Amino acid sequence: MAGYIITIILVLFAIGLIASNIRIVPQANAFVIERLGAYSGTWSVGLHVKVPLLDRVANKVSLKEKVVDFPPQPVITKDNVTMKIDTIVYYQITDPKLYTYGVSRPIVAIENLTATTLRNIIGQLELDETLTSRDLINTKMRSILDEATDPWGIKVNRVEVKNILPPADIQEAMEKQMRAERERREAILRAEGEKKSAILVAEGKKEAMILEAEAEKQSAILRAEAKRESQIREAEGESEAILKVQHATAKGIEMIKEAGADQAVLTLKSFDALAKVADGQSTKLIIPSELQNVAGLVAAATEIAKTTKEA
């Protein structure tokens, strides 16, 4: 009975010992194993069993990307301006063995390395360059830190300058400068606006004058055309009236001829027409010779008639 109990105890002890030496490595992790104090191997994701009393897990390493926000570090620029800059470092462990045995307290080592690297870079830049060269600072720091941490099994993916804090008097001077710059830009924009407004007003007046001149030109052309048409219509009316008079005169002459009037009658008719013409505003008349002869005959006939009456 006692032997049976001892056997059960030994079996349970063996099961417990084996169970205590079974390890499951989760995703994105790695275990560094030591055997009798020396590095034995690195366990990746999966189920593993270590040798009891000989193997031990020296370090559990996360392979995920990590972010470390370091506190502001005092730095001095090339033009002797002291400021504070805080940085953020994104890193990832690529070799668990080197990370475990490469450096003691790797995060503290990265922080100190970041501070010294930042001082070296800022020391080569002036204040204005520091404020406008964040990308340059980030790129240089990442390159230097990545190279320095490579023996530690760490890869630096990104370095970001979070805040740049110049002294209070420098900040005040920068704010005044920015305010003056904004006021200058405002004055320039206002002047440009006034200039454009004046140009638009002048162009508007110019176009109005051009349109007014064009309207006057068109009006003069229309008046001239109307006057010309009126003159044409008046001339046509006079021409038509003359034609009608000529037609009437010709018809009258034709009727006289048809009535058998001799040359003396025609001459008297012409004399009557001259008498009517003389009633007008003409001051000078040209009388044909035929009419002069007729006038002489009339005068002679008149004298003969007077003499006959006296006798």
The structural domains of the chain, with segments of one domain joined by +, span: 2-62, 66-166, 168-260, 261-311
Give the predicted TM-score (pTM) of the model: 0.55
pLDDT in tens, the chain (311 residues): 677 778 887 777 777 777 778 888 999 999 999 998 899 999 999 898 888 888 889 999 999 999 999 889 899 888 888 889 989 999 999 999 999 998 888 889 999 999 999 999 998 988 888 888 889 999 999 999 999 999 999 999 999 998 888 888 877 877 788 888 888 888 898 898 888 988 988 888 888 899 888 888 888 888 888 888 888 888 777 778 777 767 777 776 676 666 655 555 555 555 555 555 455 554 554 555 554 554 554 455 455 545 555 55
The predicted structure's pLDDT at residue 281: 52
Report CA 23 to chain centroid distance, whole Å: 65
Q: What is the number of alpha carbons within 13 Å of residue 108 lying toward its C-beta?
A: 3
The predicted structure's pLDDT at residue 112: 92
The predicted structure's pLDDT at residue 274: 52
The predicted structure's pLDDT at residue 1: 64
The predicted structure's pLDDT at residue 268: 56
Instruction: Mention the CATH class of domain 66-166.
Output: alpha beta
DSSP codes, 2-59: HHHHHHHHHHHHHHHHHHHTEEEEPTTEEEEEEETTEEEEEE-SEEEEPPTTTEEEEE
The predicted structure's pLDDT at residue 34: 92
Degrees to nearest 5, angle at CA 290 with 287 and 291: 50
The predicted structure's pLDDT at residue 118: 92
